[in-house]
Structures are given as C-alpha cells and as structure tokens.
C-alpha cells in the first residue's frame, strides 16, 4: 500500500470537515430569521406543506408592507425551513441546526407529536419560542413555558363537538372511532373516548391503523359489525380519512360521520368522492370560503389557492394566525427578545384572523399556552363544506367575561 492510499483518505476527510466548518455565516442586517419545521415528505407531508406555505404567505405580506417594525428597528423576515420527515431524531438535528447555527429564536410551525418533544429538548433550554400544531398532550406544560399550540387540539374540540351531536341529533347513541397508530392518533382517541363517555354516549369501537394503510376493509368490517350510529375518523389525515369513508360507503355504511381532528375537507372529498363524504361533520376544520369566517381568512384562502393551486386547511390558517399573532406581540413588546414577547403574548387578547384570540387552557395543561378561538362545526353537502354552527371550546367559555 502506498502512502497515498492509506493516508490519502485522512487528508481528504480533514479537508471535507474543514469545508463544512468554513460555511459562511449569514449576513446579519436587521433580518429576523424564523424557523419552520415539518414533515415535508412521507405520509404526513400534507401537514408540513401547509405550515410552510402559510408561513411564506404571511412573511411575504409583512415584507412587502415594508418589513416588521419592532421598537425602533425594521426587520425583514427570512424563513428557514427544514424537513424532519416525521422522524424524532431528524427533528432534533434540524432543531439544533435552526437554533445553534441559523440562530433562530422563533420556530413557528411543526407537526407530528414525537418530533415536537424532540425539538423541545433543545428549544426550551435555549428559550426559543416554539409554536406548533402537534397534538401530543405532553407537548404543553408548566415545564415548557416557551411552547405554544397554535391550533385547537382534540382536548378543546372533542367535548363541545360531541355535546353538539348529542343536543342536535339525539338519535345518535353508538360511536365508533378510528385513528392512525401514533401519538396524535392515540391522544385523539383518548380525548374522544373521554368526551363520549362523559356525555353518556356508548363507545362501541375504538380502532387504530398503521400509517400508510390503504385497505380499511378488515378494520371497517370489524367496526361495522357493531352497528355504530356515528363513525368518527378522528385523527386520520385527509388522504386516509377519505379512503376510510369511501370504503365504508362501499360496505354500505349509512350512519353519521364525524372527523374530530379533521382539517381539510376539500382534500378528503377529493379522495372519498362527494357521496361517501355526504353529511360529514368536522369541528376543527376552517372553511376558508364560508361566510362564518373573517374576511381576512377568505383573503388568505384566495391567496393560498392562487399560489399553490390547492385549498388550505385549518393547519395553514393556524400557522398563518400564529405568525400574525407572534409578530404582533413582538411589536407590542417593542423587542424580539423571547422573554419579552412571551410576556406580551400572554398578557392580552389579540385580534387575529380568528377574531379575538385568547391564549389559555390552564385547566388542561397546567399553563396557558393553547390558542383558543371559536370553532365552527361544518358539514359536507354535495361535496362542499358548509358551516352550520359556531361553538366555543370550554376553556374559551371560561375566559369570556
């Protein structure tokens, strides 16, 4: 062996690492870098994509208006986004990169429960404000003061939704739920089960499936044998929920349908077909075209559809609102320091695309970090989502003077 062969590689390795180290630092000229994380590929990609697109729209709006005026400075917002592919380890590395290398102090947008935990191990000690839509119950807590959930979760939504079902449709007594087998799915099932039981309804089936499943006939056969009055596809994402309803329809199911944690009916209908989705109720969904929502939401929806040729769901609206609120809180605080912004954020309600936003739910999580806004129950009629009633989550009722 020659010297070149045996030591050549050591030399190359050192050179490669030096190359990596020598990456130039970003020019710091009153730019505010905000991180966005999400699953941008794989099964949960629809969530991540909505988060990023919403962030892009709000960022562009702010920058086009001349930038974000905070205190005496004007900031141009720059988004830094990474794909964690729904893997906890990848999310931790991406968070490290965002926080230590890109030096962001704000991460607005993340989905998939396990990844939120991973990010929080880095973001909390570093006092990075972290707003996400993850539904893991333990993602919020007094030990995580810098973490916020920007979209209603199953804990805020399940009870009011089922109370509405019980009041308006007393014939419905037997409930079946089906969710994917991961953190969000299991937590959603837990919340729904709790709501169902507390209202005196009967839970006849509680099922989970592996993400990526396409054939739901076996599970549906099991469920339909119990003759449920209402089938709740709970935390299933639009693609899989659409398939479940389509196949339930094929199997002859004619009962009521619910989607407790559903966020994008248009997407679901495109997979299930209008017939199978008829009369599906979604409490969490935000219908960007309806008259129930603020004009600003409709404007956002139009812009989103123009840019991306797809209708946004609740996750996109949530992240848009989160961006809006947090930048407003920076202006209120007169600073981009996260402690000051945190104080400003929790000190008063803000006007957002949801209307008056409050941040609360201490009863559930031990700390007020859940964005609260009125939910709108919508129903699918002839393939279109129609808003039928506005309902307040319990925590918001408590807060309304």
> Which 222-241 positions form the footprint of another protein (CB under 8 A)?
222, 238-239
Give residues 108-147 in contact with another protein (rule: CB under 8 A): 113-114, 117-118, 121, 136, 138
Cα-Cα end-to-end distance for the chain: 82
Give residues 290-329 in contact with another protein (rule: CB under 8 A): 310
Q: Which stretch, 26-34, 162-170, 209-217, 345-353, contacts another protein (CB under 8 A)?
A: 209-217
For 374, the token pair is 């009125």
Q: Which residue has the tokens 């959603």?
A: 188
Nearer to another protein by Cβ, of 292 and 308: the residue is: 308
- Least distance to another protein, CB of residue 385, Å: 17
Coil, strand, or helix at residue 313?
A: coil
| Signed CA dihedral, 120, 55, 112, 191: sign only | positive
- Least distance to another protein, CB of residue 2, Å: 6
For residues 56 to 95, the per-residue mask of contacts with another protein, x marking binding by CB under 8 A and - elsewhere, is ------------------------xxxx-xxxxx--xxx-
- Least distance to another protein, CB of residue 363, Å: 22
Given a contact cutoff of 8 angstroms between Cβ atoms, the answer to whether 99 and 33 are in contact is no
Of all residues in the chain, what percent are helix, strand and coil, respectively (each to 5)? 45, 20, 35
Give residues 324-383 in contact with another protein (rule: CB under 8 A): none
Residue 214 makes contact with another protein by CB under 8 A? yes
- Least distance to another protein, CB of residue 241, Å: 11
- Least distance to another protein, CB of residue 30, Å: 22
Nearer to another protein by Cβ, of 34 and 399: the residue is: 34
Nearer to another protein by Cβ, of 187 and 324: the residue is: 187
Closest to 262 measured CA to CA, from 192, 194, 310: 192
- What CA dihedral angle connects 98, 100, 106 and 112, to 10 degrees? 50
Q: Which stretch, 18-26, 70-78, 335-343, 344-352, contacts another protein (CB under 8 A)?
A: 18-26
Residue 21 makes contact with another protein by CB under 8 A? yes
- The Cα–Cα gap between 341 and 328 comes to 9
Helices and strands counted in the chain (H then E): 15, 16
When binding is defined by CB under 8 A, the residue of 69, 76, 96, 166 that contacts another protein is 96
Interface with another protein (CB under 8 A), residue total 77
Question: 20: how many CB neighbours lie within 10 A of its CB?
Answer: 8
Q: Where are the alpha helices (DSSP H) in 124-273?
A: 154-168, 183-198, 217-224, 238-250, 265-272
Nearer to another protein by Cβ, of 12 and 343: the residue is: 12
Question: 308: how many CB neighbours lie within 10 A of its CB?
Answer: 15
Q: Which stretch, 68-76, 206-214, 290-298, 355-363, contacts another protein (CB under 8 A)?
A: 206-214
- Least distance to another protein, CB of residue 104, Å: 12
Q: Which stretch, 98-106, 165-173, 295-303, 326-334, contacts another protein (CB under 8 A)?
A: 98-106
Nearer to another protein by Cβ, of 97 and 340: the residue is: 97
- Residue 353 CB-half CA count within 13 A: 26
For 366, the token pair is 């031990």
Given a contact cutoff of 8 angstroms between Cβ atoms, the answer to whether 33 and 26 are in contact is yes
């Amino acid at each position: 062996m020659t010297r070149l062969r045996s030591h050549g590689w050591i030399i190359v390795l050192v050179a490669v690492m030096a190359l990596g180290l020598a990456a130039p630092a970003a020019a710091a000229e009153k730019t505010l870098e905000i991180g966005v994380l999400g699953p941008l590929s794989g099964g949960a990609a629809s969530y991540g994509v909505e988060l990023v697109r919403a962030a892009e729209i709000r960022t562009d709006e702010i920058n086009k208006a001349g930038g974000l005026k905070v205190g005496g400075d004007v900031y141009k917002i720059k988004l830094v986004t990474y794909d964690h592919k729904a893997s906890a380890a990848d999310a931790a590395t991406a968070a490290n990169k965002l926080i230590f290398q890109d030096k962001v102090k704000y991460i607005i947008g993340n989905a998939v429960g396990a990844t939120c935990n991973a990010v929080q191990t880095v973001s909390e000690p570093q006092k990075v404000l972290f707003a996400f839509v993850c539904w893991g119950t333990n993602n919020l807590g007094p030990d995580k003061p810098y973490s916020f959930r920007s979209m209603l979760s199953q804990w805020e939504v399940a009870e009011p939704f089922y109370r509405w079902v019980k009041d308006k449709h007393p014939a419905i007594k037997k409930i079946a739920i089906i969710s994917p087998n991961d953190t969000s799915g299991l937590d959603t099932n837990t919340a729904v089960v709790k709501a169902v039981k507390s209202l005196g309804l009967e839970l006849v089936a509680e099922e989970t499936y592996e993400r990526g499943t396409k054939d739901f006939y076996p599970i549906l056969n099991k469920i339909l044998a119990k003759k449920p009055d209402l089938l709740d596809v709970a935390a299933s994402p639009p693609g899989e929920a659409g398939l479940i309803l389509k196949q339930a329809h094929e199997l002859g199911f004619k009962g009521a349908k619910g989607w407790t944690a559903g966020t994008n009916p248009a997407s679901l209908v495109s997979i299930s077909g209008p017939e199978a989705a008829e009369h599906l109720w979604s409490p969490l969904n935000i219908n960007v075209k309806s008259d129930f929502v603020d004009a600003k939401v409709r404007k956002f929806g139009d812009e989103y559809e123009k840019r991306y040729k797809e209708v946004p769901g609740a996750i996109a609206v949530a992240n848009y609102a989160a961006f809006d609120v947090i930048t407003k809180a920076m202006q209120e605080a007169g600073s981009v320091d996260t402690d000051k912004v945190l104080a400003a954020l929790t000190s008063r309600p803000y006007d957002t695309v949801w209307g008056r936003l409050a941040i609360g739910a201490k009863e559930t999580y031990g700390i007020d970090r859940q964005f609260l806004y009125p939910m709108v129950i919508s129903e699918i009629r002839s393939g279109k989502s129609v808003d039928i009633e506005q309902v307040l989550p319990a925590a918001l009722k408590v807060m309304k003077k």
